[in-house]
Structure 1
Amino acid sequence: MSSSFNFLAYMIYLPVVISVTWLVAITLFKNSKVFMLDIFHGNNELATATNKLFETGFYLLNVGFAFWIMKIAETISNPRSMMEVLSGRIGGFFIWLGIMLFLNLYLFFRGRRISKAKSKVIIPVA
């Protein structure tokens, strides 16, 4: 009787990727509130709402991607193979998560730059 480690691999993979996604989101969106307040010129209600929408999208994209790449096609027959498969899956997901983090930071800085440029525009009085 051959024993498969596939189920155990899934039971390790899911908590790891979901926990790390949660930790990254908490850090990112706690600190991005400052950018949102700057972008929306101190309008706390609008900044908070927009930040929450970004956060929701971040969770949906990243958890969705984690589930999408979760499938392990081969039968894992020993702990070493399980570690190799998990390191590839989790490592690939962490690279994706890092890219998404930097994409969000880019969007925050871009929004801030556009907001600053618009506030410098002087409208002539007729």
Structure 2
Amino acid sequence: MHPAFNFSAYMIYLPVVIVVTWLVAWILFKNSKIFMIDIFHGKQELALATNKLFETGFYLLNIGFAFRIMEIGQHLETPRELMEVLSTKLGGFFIYLGMMLFLNLYLFFRGRRISKARQHHTDPAAGLHPLS
């Protein structure tokens, strides 16, 4: 009889999802600061605070989802079963994490587009052309 590999699966799964979530969040929110500053028209304090709130929500949603899908409902008895379950769990989580990354990018670009449109409509010089 082989030892159960369930505990090993959890001990691999948890650090991987936490580290990958941290890495994706670090890259996303380090680079999104410039979008937030642009969206908030140079109001750096407001932009950085909003960016930090988005980052906190990103962590809560993604780590929460990782814990939610963590359960392994079968008894793993071979290294092959361990690898197959981990690949399914991690692969599914990474697809979800990628979708969340692109959702955040969409929100940043949408916010920037709306901000630019509002700025254009409220700028009294926006309707003036140099040759008119």
TM superposition score normalised by structure 1:
0.96
TM superposition score normalised by structure 2:
0.91
**Matching residue's letter, 2:38:** D
Identity of aligned residues (%): 73
Q: How does 1:25-44 map to 2 (within 5 A)?
A: 25-44=25-44
Matched, 1:64 2:64: yes
Q: How many aligned residue pairs are there?
A: 124
Q: What is the deviation of 1:3?
A: 1.4
Secondary structure class of the residue paired with 1:73: coil
Matched, 1:23 2:26: no
Structure 2: distance between partners of 1:62 and 1:28: 14
| Unaligned segments of structure 1, at least 5 residues | none
Distance 1:82 1:65, change over 3 A: same
Q: What is the deviation of 1:122?
A: 3.6
| Cα RMSD after superposing both structures | 1.2
Q: Match of 2:128?
A: none
Q: Match of 1:75?
A: 75
**Matching residue's letter, 2:29:** F
Q: What is the deviation of 1:2?
A: 4.4
What's the CA shift string for 1:21-60, capped at 9, x where partnerless?
0000000000000000000000000000000000000000
- Give every structure 1 segment of 4 or more consecutive aligned residues whose post-TM-superposition deviation is greater than 6 Å: none
